[in-house]
Structure 1
């Protein structure tokens, strides 16, 4: 995700690539991943490439393609109930959500996080960066069966990750017990520690709760069980348990005003999970 994190910090103004002045410097460990000196060198090289390649002309020549991609994605975004986030997790102030189309980044999808200052407030920015599209009947196409769950997933991270981090000391032993026998597999999937696996499991369980609460969505025959099976192949073994316990949160909105209020019950469900209850393939 880091090339897009870098790109998100720049703007093009009158043919010059410049820093966005409203972004909070160093947010989300940004400067742990690139030094300011190397960022400055990169910016100079990028400016040279932009000028030498006459990139603005290239961009302008492809505007019809970009517009077609935007229109195809808009049909998907219009299907999302963004009010669900406040209802499910609790209200969150000062948050901006965007979808970016990375039509040259392959099949990967990921979130990029930033903060900006606006009217004296820090506004969290969550960008869902979507990978390459498909074509259907000659037109750009984003299938709902893979597009909608991914967008919901990426935006979930800004809610789920901080909650997991807040309670990490209370669930880390169980998470590590699950992670250790499958460490090689998880690392091959870019989940480099137990917290990453718990974040993904929590996020995916919330995606499925979203789908369960929106039965009107047409996912081209893709079912909730299909989603769960994909998660199990990723070795998110707690997924069914977390889905089940999150149902209590939805069923008792007066008892649990926000997801943060619900976290003691979540901790209990995680720690009650029996690691030996599943087979752990040697792959």
Structure 2
């Protein structure tokens, strides 16, 4: 899974498609998803503690707070500490349970996710059923049916923009899956794309969409520009993840080399392994391919490409080009799975060139070159100084600002932050105290080049006299 996508699409570029020849139900809230997110919230799992949909998270808190010390919650805490169960492993478990919270298929050490392990997975389901009974969760879900119905109704415009036929055409798979869109109301910005093969052989493919935006009344607000890109992203996972799972060995050397170079960037996004990183890269490249195939304008495609570069997928342009090569040779390669040997070769090249890609991106990044009033790390700054000017080596995009504090006690009292007319500098106005250490970090969230390439984090430290 996956944290919030930052794509922005013009409404004129979006097309509404009939869901022909596919099995796609309308979006809905699923009790299995909700109860899993609730119990992991109670276990203080950071990724499931969001209060962005506060109207709903307050209901959870009010109803379930007496059960924070339940045996299940302690079990989860131990399991997280020992095995790292969290994020997509939680949602994978949810779709492997039926409506009575019994396993749909037999668990193994790999199913529903290797982070669980067979014995832990069975123990969890036993404790989960007991928790559901002890907490009278049936009452909680019944009391929120109206809220669930309204939330899913609000998601319909996003659902109606998804061209599901593109997936079957691009991946070369007949639409024999059942596609399911779930509104995960307790998931905050977390979005996931698990899938399951049922005992009948039928496969269910999920896009579990978090809820991170609300309107003035506090109700879920599923705007197209905020949610459609994520829906597009999550369905790609269900077509892609199993490809690497079938045969990871040929990707291992190149994947490990790339991950070693970019571990910091990947781990900051909860991508803890080279396998997860490669799946994410292919999903993100597929999103760009979708945009190209649906005639999004060049600026939108460039913005999305640069966003992926900023996230550390520095080989994304080469990977998109490889997907286009595949799409131009469909007579020879009818499915993406049949093209995997070519992707193995491509990744060997990416691994060899990873340092070059990093260097090329770094050359495009804006950089701080000076501070007019003092040098960084100066220990004798005048406390009466009311503003500073920070200079960059090139003009910036000039929209917004992104400054993080390291510690509340050392964060300056900012009054305003403005760009100079040429956008090559920012002016910070503040009030300082004497004999005090200060530090803050300029980040790339807003400090970008006009084409959207982020600067690397830049820490500014000083002490007043």
Q: TM-score, normalised by structure 1?
A: 0.82
Summarize the Cα distance change of 1:248–1:181 in structure 2 as closer, same or farther, 3 Å threshold. closer
Correspondence for 2:112: 28
Q: Of 179, 182, 188, which aligns to 2:259? A: 179
Distance 1:268 1:94 in 2: 30
Offset at 1:197?
A: 0.7
Cα displacement (A) at 1:253 = 2.2
Match for 2:213 among 134, 137, 142? 134
Contiguous gaps of at least 5 residues in structure 2: 1-87, 363-455, 458-465
The alpha-carbon deviation at position 97 of structure 1 amounts to 1.6
Report the equivalent of 1:212: 292
SS at match of 2:194: strand
* Partners of 2:96 and 2:105 within 8 A in 1: no
What is the aligned residue count? 267
Aligned positions of 1:87-102 closer than 5 A: 87-92=169-174, 94-102=176-184
1:96-175 aligned within 5 A: 96-118=178-200, 122-135=201-214, 140-175=220-255
CA RMSD of aligned residues (A): 2.8
Separation in structure 2 between the aligned mates of residue 86 and residue 158 of structure 1, nearest angstrom: 12
Structure 1 pair 24/92, CA: closer, same or farther in 2 (3 Å)? farther
Moved >6 Å (runs of 4+): 280-283
- The answer to whether residue 280 in structure 2 is matched with residue 200 in structure 1 is yes
Cα displacement string for residues 188-245 of structure 1 (whole angstroms, at most 9, x for unaligned residues)? 322121111111101110111111111269xxx9822222222222211211101011
How do residues 7-86 of structure 1 correspond to structure 2 at under 5 angstroms? 7-10=94-97, 17-19=100-102, 23-26=104-107, 27-29=111-113, 31-32=116-117, 34-50=120-136, 55-86=137-168
Check 1:48–1:10 CA distance in 2 against 1; reply closer, same or farther (3 A cut).
farther
Whether 2:311 is the aligned partner of 1:234: answer: yes
Q: Work out the CA distance in 1 between the residues paired with 2:339 and 2:97.
A: 39
CA distance in 1, matches of 2:121, 2:142: 32
Provide TM-score, normalisation by structure 2.
0.52
Match in the other structure for 1:224? 301
Are the counterparts in 2 of residues 145 and 222 from structure 1 also a CA contact under 8 Å?
no
**1:166-205: CA deviation from partner (whole Å, max 9, x where unpaired):** 4533332222111112223322322121111111101110
1:90 positional shift: 1.1
CA–CA distance in 1 between the matches of 2:204 and 2:346?
Answer: 31
Distance 1:93 1:212, change over 3 A: closer
Conserved 8 A contact 1:238-1:270 = no
Deviations, residues 152-171 of structure 1 (Å, cap 9, x unaligned): 22221222222234453333
